[in-house]
Structure 1
Amino acid sequence: MNSLSPTATSCGVAAIRLLEAYGVDLVFGIPGVHTLELYRGLGNSPIRHVTPRNEMGGGFMADGYARVTGKPGVCILTTGPGLTNAATPIGQAFSDSVPMLVITSVNARSELGMGRGRLHEITNQSNAIAPLVAFSQTILDPSELPEAMARAFAVFSGARPRPVHIEIPIDVLELPAAFPIRARLPLALPAPNRQAIADAAALLRTAGKPLTIVGGGALKAGAQVTALAEWLGGPVITTVAAKGVLRADHPLSLGSSMPSPATKQAIAEADLVLVVGSELSETDIWAENNLSFGGKLIRIDIDAASLTRDYHPDVAILSDAGAALDALLAELGAAPDRSARQARTAALRQEIETAIAQDRTAVKRKHVRLLEALRTALPEDGVVFTDMTQIAYTGNQAYPCFAPSTWHHPSGYGTLGFGMPAAIGAQLGKPETPVVALVGDGGLLFTVQELMTAVEEQLGLVILMWNNDGYGQIRDGLIQRGVPEIGVNLRNPDHMALARAFGCDAVQPDSLEALVEAVRAAPAKDRPTFIQVRQDAPFLD
């Protein structure tokens, strides 16, 4: 192995300097014997390092940080178990189009694929993680690192964002790095084709009953979505990923009501549907089959595969959502009088809200009472990260959002344990913004150790736990199918004592007013506030 002169920079140190050049200010990771050379670079770096208590928690933290800042979340992980512990959050980030850069070590070049039983060895670590990332690259020489890093940031800035994995063999980490430390120019997002814009505008002008579906690809295009909605005067549905892109209190908003049969009927009856930034996946539409479109279909998406999969649009626009909507608005010109359409939309909105409310079970009504209290307690820009838990499923429809990126649910991959560590990452990314993790008692224990990370970082975070003594959604499904309740009724710890043992404030409110007070008081503290609400709490009846 080559030795370094006192003034030379190793590949591991150069990797950190490249991160600095690309504007990275925070990384998540647990040091390992194979990543010491990367940590040499962190020793005198302006990049802040946060240590989770498990790499899975670190991956979720990077995800949450990316969602609220718009910058890639970065993890530095050791070979083998360091990466595989983070595979679940990497999969979640892939499913939800979250930019994440995962830099790992890997066994020495002479050992790759040999299966000799080396420490942390996977016979092909890159192949093991490849299905969960945009690309995985092994750096076989330090000179390859700048291009790999440039490719990663091109994915983050110029395409549908996905996680990227770069692995550096432990012998390469120690080699001299002679390349210049500089960031390459970011890629511009794709702009729309002029003819496609003209064709789409022609359909929009002649539509009598237009409807718009907005997905997570339009998170940065709220102003344009609102302007086009008002030009059309028709209803707007947001997927869960797009909650708040159009304010929930906007008269044209049908909210995230896609699972409602009344909403699906409205989609089928529209003579034109415009879909912006959504792949219309199973977890977007919650239907056994594809949506039924009775009229024309226009799709805008940054991902070519989404434009050609499952549905056959009359006009397909491959573009960044904001750029395409700007071009459409310019092509359409001044808005005509839409008062008649707006009246129809108001009636439809009332019909759908009534149908959803009538469909709620007694437990869902309890959910709504708590969610209304949480909405009261938070400012409009307050951020909620949820886990896979029944109250969050209710909240996907019932919790109103007034700004984008304020409600985050692990929709696609559906991972238990996401909510609390992702909220930690978000709080680190937006320290002045109130952040709440809304979790269930089952999901909390997947990543409960990250309470210690939140305490160590002195975060005024709220962890709001809905306790239904087990895996409630699965339990209900078993009961409905006549299957024995196996593995769903859990013995829980004393959550309040556990939270206090970690160093959190622990509160079990006896009223909704007390809940609101606890949530509002939390951001000013130098420690997390753990709030337990039991499903059988009398004040929810």
Structure 2
Amino acid sequence: MGHAMTAAGDELLTGGEALVRALCGHAVTRVFGIPGTHNLEIYRHLAAYGIRHVTPRHEQGAGYAADGYARVTGRPGVVLTTTGPALLNAAAAVGQAYSDSVPLLVVSPGMPLRHPRLSTGLLHETRSQTEALRGVAAFSHRVSSVGEIDAAVARAFTLFRTGRPRPVHIEIPLDLLEAAERVGPARISPPLPRVTADPFAVREAARALAAAERPALVLGGGARDARQPCLALAERLGAPVVTTANGKGCVPETHPLSLGVSLHSAAVQKWLVSRDVVVAVGTELAESDFWAPPPPLDGTLVRIDIDPDQMYAGAPADVPLVGHARAVLEALLPELPTHTRVPGSHDHPQPPVDAAQPRLDPARPALSASQPSLDPARSPLDRARSPLDPGHSPLAPAQLPPHHARVPEDVRALRAARDAETATRDARWIPYLEAIRSVLAEDAVVTSDSAQCCYYGALPHLPIGTTGRYLHPTGFGTLGYALPAAIGAKVARPDRQVVALSGDGGLQFTVQELATAVQLRLPLPIVVFDNGGYGEIRDEMRARGDAPTAVDLPPVDLPALARAYGGHGTHACNADELVQSLTEALDRPAPTLITVSEETA
């Protein structure tokens, strides 16, 4: 690999090679970034260490792609930038990863080790990159020697493995990248056991849950690695489950106890306040989850979180369980009574949980009477079955176990009340979302933008398969996330369907990443709901009684733009056409941009 051994057995490495060696030692096989004058020594060594590189067209796109890669693999996404503007271009993606607890490692050169405090006009000179990134990352570590580089990388991976996984930045002075120093064996983050909660707290939580008459579960992104124990807990307690955007799909959204992504619903909030015990797993219970100030809970709040700060931040825990969600739940379940309690039904024996098997097949939730009715004979769901898998629907009715054959009445009523609140607004998206769902496999990945069609439409109304994922930029709420995140997800999981959902305003923040998808020959549909600008802000202005200002954008022929980049582009006038376009796009070795006009949606 080009390095030399010294008499003492140490290796003579440049800072660039020391970094790449450390990444390789932590099983990094893919990085996202753009080479620049100051980081070429890093790029020189990537191939020798078996690390492949993806070149987006903007560093913000690199950050979002690495974010999507991290979310679907569970492994940290790695971003390489050069100094100054390149690093700051990635800062928005770092902020999004911090908000959504995504393990992201951003590496950049920095000003030379002994660079003077006064400006000298050096290329990309920045007053303090570490201070800038410290404001949006978990930490920013500027190394002072080649030998410190692998320790900094190990520090990052230790955080990813043991704490709340948030983005970190490592800065290597550009003169250290080229300098060769003697270094010892690479220091690797040690394997550490999953942290479980204090046994006394576990027993206290079990006592509260055993006595609960009206329990509820709230699942966030921190529950994703504990889906089976979360489902087992819900079924053991007969507790309805509501999720945040990041927790979408942690429990099958068509399970009889699932309320899906519904914390924004006034009816669901009122119901949650009335619960006597609420178990919150891996969630902040934040304003960005409720879309309003979080309501005060009347009952006992049991919080399970790897982050001890969450025990007193926001809604303080009555019973704090600090640890990895899966480890805590696996300790909690044996402490609970061994019978199932389903509201409105008799007690039934609880079968053992088989972590290797899904608990239930997915089922399509019935539209409430207040939602627009669809003619079953004309449903795009039915029409889409035969060309893909004859006789199979990804949303076929579930074969429920006997103890769940009768769906709890309060859950059905809540679903209907939730949907009735926004039936008129959401009617424009539902037929198209049904069309999308009908085409998707159970393990499909959907990425979304901070767009009305996504947070009002897809989050509550597009069920994700039992092994699928939905990636949404919640909290920080950045625009332009969907397309580059979909690229990262598809690079990570080329065998799975990946579909991006966006609006015309958000797409144009990162639309240049169509070129990246073309270069990689990715079969990637991008469905764009076009409302002629920034629809959410336009609606907010009107609600205030203001005249809409700076929110109406001139029309852009987005399908033509996709074709100009070398991809495909088309317009779907109805749900039937969207099914056809999506089906073709998923088999085409290039991105396909499909627009839907909200006037016709």
Shorter chain as normaliser: what TM range? over 0.9
CA distance in 2, matches of 1:220, 1:79: 36
What is the deviation of 1:314? 1.8
1:147 and 2:151 aligned? yes
1:409 is matched with 472
1:485 is matched with 548
* Aligned counterpart in structure 1 of residue 335 of structure 2, from 331, 335, 346: 331
1:473 is matched with 536
What is the deviation of 1:526? 1.2
Q: Counterpart of 1:235 in structure 2: which amino acid?
A: P
CA distance in 2, matches of 1:271, 1:281: 20
CA distance in 2, matches of 1:184, 1:328: 29
Q: Is the 8 A contact 1:67 1:405 kept in 2?
A: no
SS at match of 2:13: coil
Alignment of 1:169-184 (within 5 A): 169-177=173-181, 178-181=183-186, 183-184=188-189
CA distance in 2, matches of 1:486, 1:266: 38
1:23 is matched with 27
2:392 is matched with none
Q: Is the 8 A contact 1:386 1:419 kept in 2?
A: yes
Q: Is the 8 A contact 2:151 2:187 kept in 1?
A: no
Q: Deviations over 1:471-504 (max 9, x none)?
A: 0111011111111211100013211211100011
Residue-pair matches, total: 535
1:419 is matched with 482
CA distance in 2, matches of 1:148, 1:525: 42
Q: Is the 8 A contact 1:4 1:10 kept in 2?
A: no
Q: Is the 8 A contact 1:455 1:503 kept in 2?
A: yes
Q: Is the 8 A contact 2:432 2:575 kept in 1?
A: yes
CA distance in 1, matches of 2:116, 2:265: 52
1:249 and 2:311 aligned? no
1:285 and 2:290 aligned? yes
1:192 is matched with 197
Q: Is the 8 A contact 2:447 2:501 kept in 1?
A: yes
CA distance in 2, matches of 1:486, 1:4: 63
Q: Counterpart of 1:50 in structure 2: which amino acid?
A: V
Q: Is the 8 A contact 1:222 1:404 kept in 2?
A: no
Identity %: 42
CA distance in 2, matches of 1:530, 1:487: 25
1:91 and 2:95 aligned? yes
What is the deviation of 1:362? 4.0
2:577 is matched with 514
CA distance in 1, matches of 2:211, 2:450: 42
Q: Is the 8 A contact 1:113 1:124 kept in 2?
A: no
Q: Counterpart of 2:261 in structure 1: which amino acid?
A: S
2:281 is matched with 276
CA distance in 1, matches of 2:344, 2:426: 35
What is the deviation of 1:337? 4.6
What is the deviation of 1:522? 2.1
Q: Counterpart of 2:290 in structure 1: which amino acid?
A: I
**Which is worse superposed, 305-314 or 82-91?**
305-314
What is the deviation of 1:331? 1.3
SS at match of 1:366: coil
Alignment of 1:37-52 (within 5 A): 37-52=41-56
Decide whether aligned partners of structure 1 residues 219 and 337 sit closer, same or farther in structure 2, where only a CA change above 3 A counts: closer
2:378 is matched with none
CA distance in 2, matches of 1:373, 1:463: 14
Q: Deviations over 1:211-267 (max 9, x none)?
A: 111111000111000100011002111111111111011111111111111111111
SS at match of 1:506: strand
What is the deviation of 1:5? 10
1:460 is matched with 523
What is the deviation of 1:113? 3.5
What is the deviation of 1:406? 1.2
CA distance in 1, matches of 2:192, 2:136: 23
Gaps of 5+ in 2: 346-403
Decide whether aligned partners of structure 1 residues 112 and 284 sit closer, same or farther in structure 2, where only a CA change above 3 A counts: farther
* Aligned counterpart in structure 1 of residue 160 of structure 2, from 156, 161, 167: 156
2:558 is matched with 495
SS at match of 2:292: coil
Q: Counterpart of 2:446 in structure 1: which amino acid?
A: V
SS at match of 2:344: helix
Decide whether aligned partners of structure 1 residues 336 and 247 sit closer, same or farther in structure 2, where only a CA change above 3 A counts: closer
What is the deviation of 1:356? 2.8
Alignment of 1:109-124 (within 5 A): 109-111=113-115, 113-124=117-128
Q: Counterpart of 2:216 in structure 1: which amino acid?
A: L
2:504 is matched with 441
Decide whether aligned partners of structure 1 residues 112 and 99 sit closer, same or farther in structure 2, where only a CA change above 3 A counts: farther
1:311 is matched with 315
Q: Is the 8 A contact 2:238 2:257 kept in 1?
A: yes
Q: Counterpart of 1:56 in structure 2: which amino acid?
A: Q
2:422 is matched with 360
What is the TM-score of this pair, normalised by structure 2?
A: 0.86
1:80 and 2:143 aligned? no
Q: Counterpart of 1:448 in structure 2: which amino acid?
A: V
Q: Is the 8 A contact 2:572 2:578 kept in 1?
A: yes
CA distance in 2, matches of 1:170, 1:136: 16
* Aligned counterpart in structure 2 of residue 205 of structure 1, from 185, 200, 210: 210
What is the deviation of 1:307? 1.0
Q: Deviations over 1:21-52 (max 9, x none)?
A: 11111101111100011111114231110111
Q: Is the 8 A contact 2:79 2:107 kept in 1?
A: yes
What is the deviation of 1:9? 2.4
2:568 is matched with 505
CA distance in 2, matches of 1:339, 1:79: 59
1:238 is matched with 243
* Aligned counterpart in structure 1 of residue 170 of structure 2, from 152, 162, 166: 166
CA distance in 1, matches of 2:12, 2:343: 70
**Which is worse superposed, 363-372 or 385-394?**
363-372
What is the deviation of 1:514? 2.2
Decide whether aligned partners of structure 1 residues 337 and 260 sit closer, same or farther in structure 2, where only a CA change above 3 A counts: closer
Q: Is the 8 A contact 2:235 2:340 kept in 1?
A: no
SS at match of 1:12: helix
Q: Counterpart of 2:550 in structure 1: which amino acid?
A: G
Q: Is the 8 A contact 2:241 2:259 kept in 1?
A: yes
1:376 and 2:381 aligned? no
CA distance in 1, matches of 2:47, 2:264: 50
1:398 and 2:461 aligned? yes
* Aligned counterpart in structure 2 of residue 126 of structure 1, from 118, 127, 130: 130
What is the deviation of 1:413? 0.4
CA distance in 1, matches of 2:274, 2:405: 17
Q: Is the 8 A contact 1:233 1:339 kept in 2?
A: yes
2:413 is matched with 351
SS at match of 1:133: coil
CA distance in 2, matches of 1:520, 1:349: 34
Q: Is the 8 A contact 1:68 1:405 kept in 2?
A: no
SS at match of 1:108: coil
What is the deviation of 1:333? 4.6
Alignment of 1:522-537 (within 5 A): 522-537=585-600
Q: Deviations over 1:259-308 (max 9, x none)?
A: 111111111111111111111111112223x3221211111111011111
What is the deviation of 1:313? 2.1
Q: Is the 8 A contact 1:112 1:123 kept in 2?
A: no
CA distance in 2, matches of 1:191, 1:363: 44
2:232 is matched with 227
CA distance in 2, matches of 1:238, 1:199: 24
